[in-house]
Structure 1
Amino acid sequence: MQSLESITDSQFPQNPNNFSSSSSSSVNGLHGWLFECHGLWHNLALIISSLIFVLFLGFQAKKSFQKLSHGRSYIMISYYGCVWLVSLLNLAWCFLQAWECTPGKEMAWNILSLFTTSGMLFLEVSLVAFLLQGNYASGLEALTRTFVVSGLIVGLDLLLKAVYLFGFGVPLFIDNIEHPHQVKWGLWVVHRLVLTAIYGSILFMYRSKWRERLPARPAFYKYVVVMFILNALALFACGLTGNGAGFGYWLYSATIVCYHAFYLPLLYVTFLADFFQEEDLHLENVYYSEMKDAGFFDGDWE
């Protein structure tokens, strides 16, 4: 009977950067973890940026929990919890880059990548769904519907990727520049094409007569511009890489680093930061009203 290890090796061809022998002892320890596989700067860019964002969430946790509990917005609490979960997954993904180039770790790397990218896609789709509901996206029912629709879309995407990954052995998350997998890059082209078209449509709405239907916040417009450019570059890179162009592989790697390093902070600034600032203003108004009722400002009229 064929062993599980041989099946895994046949389904997921190893990265050409993999070491030729297992005596490297898990990618030669710290040196291999930082310097091998993708290289020092690639690994440091991912690790440092993701670690800084998680530390930021940690330092703001107590203050954020107080504001969320005061606001009693269950959807915002759920969204904030999702940001925490995905941030930790992304941090683990960034720290474990060496798994992609370590013999025997291909299955674990693909599972980690699958759940990490699906979590980030859920946040991305839910924010897009919120944008497309425009000025009507308010209240518990609208935001709940946003989460349900996003969950269904991402669940279908996760199932499709899992079928190609574990059913057909398509190495979605293991890159091999010397032997590009046509089916893999074809799937990524379709994936990026859909996202680029969605963000492009939203940009068109911002510059058309339907602009009033979108939330009147500049941060949302800037977010859409950034995501449109990033996905357009990734789409171009996937097309080049699928045809064997080395520059396309480099460009695709650069877009992946930018996405995993900066998307979650961008999402926080675009969506959650505004909510917390609004809560600050709300608390200030409450405190002012309480102090005014207690007569603290009576002397100002004398």
Structure 2
Amino acid sequence: MQSLESITESPFPQNPNNSSSSSSSSSIGLYGWLVECHGFWHNLALIIPSLLFVLFLGFQAKKNFQKLSHGRSYIMISYYGCLWLVSLLNLVWCFVQAWECTPGKEMAWNILSLFTTSGMLFLEVSLLAFLLQGNHASGLQALTRTFVISGLIVGLDLLLKAIYLFGFGVPLFIDNSEHPRQIKWGLWVVHRLVLTAIYGSILFMYHSKWRERLPARPAFYKYVAFMFILNALELFACALTGNGASFGFWLYSATIVCYHAFYLPLLYITFLADFFEEEDMHLENVYYSEMKDAGFFDADWE
């Protein structure tokens, strides 16, 4: 009987099972990457805008590089390079959302999230530093001052998060609505409270006697208003989540999606798009003046 059983059980159950298990594991991996953890629509809302923005930067890169080389603006060249780097980091972060829920990937997810959020915060703080310098922000000295201030603030923020993350073991970037940690959400409340207060003070300046110290651009005001509302919502969401409210966790997730999907395009529209358009107008004026000096329009005065 044993020999018959061994004969009947042994023929080839292993190869089909191995192929089916490998195919099922690959399908489960693809399914888990796109659907599990946060859900299909959450991942789609992050990936599509981030991918489209990187593709947009790629299509505009040749033209923008030419304009930056002609303009010779140290601020714009440096900021454009930082925007490229952070956009690529953010795209990778959006693509690997499944790492947050994958055992063994916690360390990689925390490191990637730490550098991605720090890069976005650097762009955010440097734009605020540039904005608060008003119309006097130009040249290499302003660039150095802006980047030094932003680097010190973001470096201190990164160090504090790294201490909480790797020193005290607080999962800052791994969200769990079932077991909220008061320390984690308390830190995020303080973080968002500072940003909300800064944006609120700038909005107050726009409606006060200090308005002349700010750049006279409506796009900056719209940017500050949007960021004030977003940070206020995230502050409210963190406070609710820290107290165990499920609605607060949903609102926090929605604000995170909005920030990572739409902040970098908003930054480009606010700070860089006008520069490239103004550079086009500047070149047209240069060409017009050169043609006028060459006498092309002398016939119009006869």
- Could you tell me which residue of structure 1 aligns to residue 296 of structure 2? 296
Letter in 2 for 1:236: F
1:132: how far off? 1.3
TM-score (norm 1): 0.90
CA offsets 1:269-299 (integer angstroms, 9 cap, x no match): 1101111111111111111112222222222
4+ runs of 1 displaced by more than 4 Å? 24-27
- Are the aligned partners of 1:27 and 1:33 in contact in 2 as well (CA < 8 Å)? no
* Aligned alpha-carbon RMSD (Å): 1.4
- Could you tell me which residue of structure 2 aligns to residue 242 of structure 1? 242
Q: 1:197 to 1:26 in 2, by over 3 A?
A: farther
1:143: how far off? 2.4
The answer on 1:131 being equivalent to 2:126 is no
- Are the aligned partners of 2:74 and 2:139 in contact in 1 as well (CA < 8 Å)? no
Q: Among the aligned pairs, what percent are the same residue? A: 89
**Counterparts of 2:81 and 2:166 in 1: how far apart (Å)?**
29
- Could you tell me which residue of structure 2 aligns to residue 203 of structure 1? 203
1:124: how far off? 0.1
- Could you tell me which residue of structure 1 aligns to residue 29 of structure 2? 29
Query: How do 1:160-179 and structure 2 match up within 5 A?
Result: 160-179=160-179
The answer on 1:140 being equivalent to 2:136 is no
The answer on 1:105 being equivalent to 2:105 is yes
- Could you tell me which residue of structure 2 aligns to residue 263 of structure 1? 263
CA offsets 1:197-237 (integer angstroms, 9 cap, x no match): 00000000101111111111000000000000000000000
Q: 1:27 to 1:191 in 2, by over 3 A?
A: farther
- Are the aligned partners of 1:185 and 1:242 in contact in 2 as well (CA < 8 Å)? yes
- Could you tell me which residue of structure 2 aligns to residue 186 of structure 1? 186
Give the secondary structure class of the aligned counterpart of 1:210. Answer: helix
Letter in 1 for 2:31: H
**Counterparts of 1:151 and 1:85 in 2: how far apart (Å)?**
16
Letter in 2 for 1:250: W
**Counterparts of 1:140 and 1:263 in 2: how far apart (Å)?**
26
**Counterparts of 2:202 and 2:27 in 1: how far apart (Å)?**
44
**Counterparts of 1:255 and 1:291 in 2: how far apart (Å)?**
52
The answer on 1:287 being equivalent to 2:287 is yes
**Counterparts of 2:255 and 2:34 in 1: how far apart (Å)?**
20
TM-score (norm 2): 0.90
1:26: how far off? 8.0
**Counterparts of 1:28 and 1:93 in 2: how far apart (Å)?**
21
- Are the aligned partners of 2:75 and 2:139 in contact in 1 as well (CA < 8 Å)? no
**Counterparts of 2:128 and 2:25 in 1: how far apart (Å)?**
44
Unpaired segments ≥5 residues, structure 1: 1-23
CA offsets 1:115-163 (integer angstroms, 9 cap, x no match): 0000000000001111111222223212220111001110110011011
Letter in 2 for 1:43: N
Letter in 1 for 2:36: E
**Counterparts of 2:143 and 2:93 in 1: how far apart (Å)?**
29
1:52: how far off? 0.4
**Counterparts of 2:39 and 2:277 in 1: how far apart (Å)?**
39
**Counterparts of 2:173 and 2:25 in 1: how far apart (Å)?**
23
- Could you tell me which residue of structure 2 aligns to residue 154 of structure 1? 154
- Are the aligned partners of 1:132 and 1:214 in contact in 2 as well (CA < 8 Å)? yes
**Counterparts of 2:94 and 2:269 in 1: how far apart (Å)?**
21
Unpaired segments ≥5 residues, structure 2: 1-23
- Could you tell me which residue of structure 2 aligns to residue 76 of structure 1? 76
Query: How do 1:7-86 and structure 2 match up within 5 A?
Result: 25=25, 28-86=28-86
How many residues align structurally? 280
**Counterparts of 1:237 and 1:71 in 2: how far apart (Å)?**
43
- Could you tell me which residue of structure 2 aligns to residue 91 of structure 1? 91
1:31: how far off? 1.4
**Counterparts of 1:86 and 1:284 in 2: how far apart (Å)?**
32
Letter in 2 for 1:126: S
CA offsets 1:56-114 (integer angstroms, 9 cap, x no match): 00000000000000011122111100000000000000000010011110000000000
**Bigger radius of gyration, 1 or 2?**
2
Q: 1:86 to 1:208 in 2, by over 3 A?
A: same
Q: 1:26 to 1:150 in 2, by over 3 A?
A: farther
Give the secondary structure class of the aligned counterpart of 1:188. Answer: helix
- Could you tell me which residue of structure 1 aligns to residue 232 of structure 2? 232
1:300: how far off? 1.9
- Could you tell me which residue of structure 2 aligns to residue 118 of structure 1? 118
- Are the aligned partners of 1:27 and 1:98 in contact in 2 as well (CA < 8 Å)? no
Give the secondary structure class of the aligned counterpart of 1:288. Answer: helix
- Could you tell me which residue of structure 2 aligns to residue 223 of structure 1? 223
